[in-house]
Amino acid sequence: MKTVSGKTIWIIGASSGIGRALAQELDRRGATLILSARRADALTALGAELEGDHILLPLDVANIEQVEQAAQTISAQINRIDSIVHLAAVYDPVRIDSMDIAKVRDLVNVNVMGTFHVLHAVLPILTKQGFGQLALCGSVAGFRGLPNGQPYSATKAAVINIAETLKLEHPTLDIKVINPGFVRTPLTDKNDFTMPMIIEPSDAATAIADGLVKSSFEIHFPKRFTLFIKLLRILPNALYFQLAKRLTADKSP
């Protein structure tokens, strides 16, 4: 996909944060959007702000029936889907020994099972088309384990792994993984620590919109931060654990 102008792009998780900003950015760039999220009121408000004539399809990615129904509706109404950007996620990082198991179940259902639900619903459509882009949202939090990062980090590691598998299994499709650093959203507002190199949702949206039209598999930003985290990813385990303990000394035993 060399341009988003005139393309039909389905954003799942569009009601706030990065998804909302991405909808605004792609609308400015001339894309036709299908916008989905759990909050129908927020979607309606977003749709009213955009210039283009877009489709609003509220859904909960944790509900397979709703995801399948939305995919069927799109398939019946639209001849093609050029890109699907799956951003829906929930976030509640804690220490493993302090986890609320009910919250863990909800987080896994949305972040991991929600991803599988989307794939189950849209892969037949893209396969039948013979083309299309599918971008899943991981996170640098999924690169390596850190104190106070579970279960969110584990779910994002899973999404990265899923995207890598999709890239191998579906070579005719444009598969991408989006790995943001810290972005100022209602999710990161939950953090009680300093977030290095944090960026605004509009900056994240620009990076994603630019990345969607490039050939690279991974979209990651901001580069200064993500490249540092990538370095941690390749360090030998002994060195990584020693460095991670120092970097998080105020948050870990």
**Does 80 have pLDDT greater than 50?**
yes
Residue of 37, 197, 210, 7 whose CA lies nearest to 118: 37
For residue 30, is it left (φ>0), alpha (ψ between -120 and 50) or beta? left
**Does 42 have pLDDT greater than 90?**
yes
| Residues 88-124 as b or e (16 or more Cβ within 10 Å = b) | bbbbebeeeeeeeeeebeebbbbbbbbbebbbebbbe
Q: What is the mean pLDDT of residues 39-47?
A: 96
User: Which residue did the predictor score with more confidence, 249 or 218?
Assistant: 218
115-155 tens-digit pLDDT: 999 999 999 999 999 999 999 999 999 999 888 889 999 99
Residue of 141, 181, 184 whose CA lies nearest to 160: 141
The mean pLDDT of the chain is 93
**Does 243 have pLDDT greater than 50?**
yes
Residue partners of 83: CB distance under 8 A and separation at least 6: 1, 4, 7, 8, 9, 10, 132, 133, 134, 135, 174, 212
Bridge partners (DSSP) listed for residue 36: 12
pLDDT interval class at 253 (50, 70, 90): very low
Give me the domains of the chain, ranges plus CATH numbers.
8-247 (3.40.50.720)
User: 144: which 2 tokens?
Assistant: 């390596």
**Does 251 have pLDDT greater than 60?**
no
pLDDT interval class at 249 (50, 70, 90): low
**What's the pTM?**
0.94
User: How many other β-carbons are positioned within 10 Å of the β-carbon of residue 225?
Assistant: 19
Task: Please state which of the ranges 144-148, 204-208, 244-248 shows the lowest mean pLDDT.
Answer: 244-248
> Quick check: helix, strand or coil at residue 123?
helix
User: 41: which 2 tokens?
Assistant: 């009121």
d(CA 170, CA 204): 27
